[in-house]
Structure 1
Amino acid sequence: MARMIFVNLPVEDVARATAFYQAIGFTKNEQFSNERGSAMDWSDDIHVMLLSRDFFSTFTTKRIVDPRTETGALHALSLDDRAEVDRFTEAALEAGGRELHEPEDMGFMYSRGFEDPDGNGWGPFAMDVAAHAAATAEGAGQ
C-alpha cells in the first residue's frame, strides 16, 4: 500500500468546511464522510479530514486550539506553476478564505498564503527545483 497523509482539522461547521474545500478543488469521499466529518481528497495520497470539534476531541485529551487566534500548523501544497497557485488561492478567497500575506516570489519559488473559514492556514506554492539548483551552484562559485 502506498504511504498516504491524512491531515485532520477541527471545524465549527462540517457542511461549510466541506463546501469550502470542494470550491478549491478537493473531492469529498462519501465512503468516509458523515455528519461528524468529511473526508476530502486532494490526490490519491493526500487527504484532509474535516472533523467537527466534538468529534476531533475524541482523538486527543489536549486542548484544541482555535486556529483563528492560535497557530498549531501551517499546511503547504505544491502546485505545478505560478498560475495554478494564483487560481487555487483566488478560489479559496472567493469561497470565504482570508489571504495571509502578499504573494512571495523568490525566483525559483512562488507562494501565497490563506486561511480557510475556520482559520486553518494553507500555503500553496510552485517551485522550480532546477532553477534553485542552478542558483545555488552559481552562489557557491562566487
Structure 2
Amino acid sequence: MTKTIFISLPVADLDKSVAFYKAIGFTNNPQFTDDTAACMVWSETISVMLLTHAKWRSFTTRPIPPSTSSEVAFNVTCESREAVDAMNQAAGANGGTADINPVQDHGSMYGRDMADPDGHIWGAMWMDPAAFPAV
C-alpha cells in the first residue's frame, strides 16, 4: 500500500468548507464523503478529511480550538508563483482569509499563507528546483 497522508480537520459548516477547498484546488472523493465528513484530495497521496464538529468529537474529547488559534500550519506546493497567487486569491474570495502573514518572496522560494473558514492555516508555496543543488 502506498503511504498517504489524511489530515482530519473539524469544520463548523461542512458545505461551506467543501466549497472553499474546491475553490483553492482540491477535489472531492465521494467514496469517503457523507453528511458528516468530506474527503478533499490534493494529490494522489494527500487528502484532507473535513469533519463536522459532531463527527470530530466521536474521535476525541479534546476541545476544538477557536478559529483565532493556530494549532498547526499545512503547506502545499504549487506549479508557479502565479498558482500561489491564484490559490491565495481564491481563498479570500471563498470564505477564507488571504495573506494572514506577510508574503514570503525569497527569489527562488515564494509563499503566501491563508486561513480556511474555520481558521486552519494553509500555505501555498513555489520553489525553483534549479536554484537548489542536487543531492
TM over 0.5: yes
Q: Distance in 1 between matches of 2:74 and 2:7?
A: 9
Counterpart of 2:118? 118
Q: Distance in 1 between matches of 2:93 and 2:13?
A: 18
Counterpart of 2:85? 86
Counterpart of 1:3? 3
The residue identity in structure 2 corresponding to 1:75 is: F
Residue 91 of structure 1: how far off its partner (Å): 1.1
Counterpart of 2:34? 34
Counterpart of 2:68? 69
The residue identity in structure 2 corresponding to 1:24 is: I
Q: Return 94-103 or 72-81, whichever deviates more.
A: 94-103
Counterpart of 1:98? 97
The residue identity in structure 2 corresponding to 1:40 is: M
- Report whether the alignment pairs 1:46 with 2:43: no
Bigger fraction of residues in strand: 1
Residue 24 of structure 1: how far off its partner (Å): 1.3
Q: Distance in 2 between matches of 1:92 and 1:86?
A: 10
Counterpart of 1:140? none
The percent identity for this pair of structures is 41
The residue identity in structure 1 corresponding to 2:35 is: E
Q: Distance in 2 between matches of 1:124 and 1:114?
A: 8
Q: Distance in 1 between matches of 2:64 and 2:102?
A: 29
The number of residues matched between the two structures is 133
Superposed CA RMSD in Å reads 1.4
Query: Which runs of 5 or more structure 1 residues have no equivalent in the other structure?
Result: 135-142
SS in 2 for 1:9: strand
Query: Which runs of 5 or more structure 2 residues have no equivalent in the other structure?
Result: none
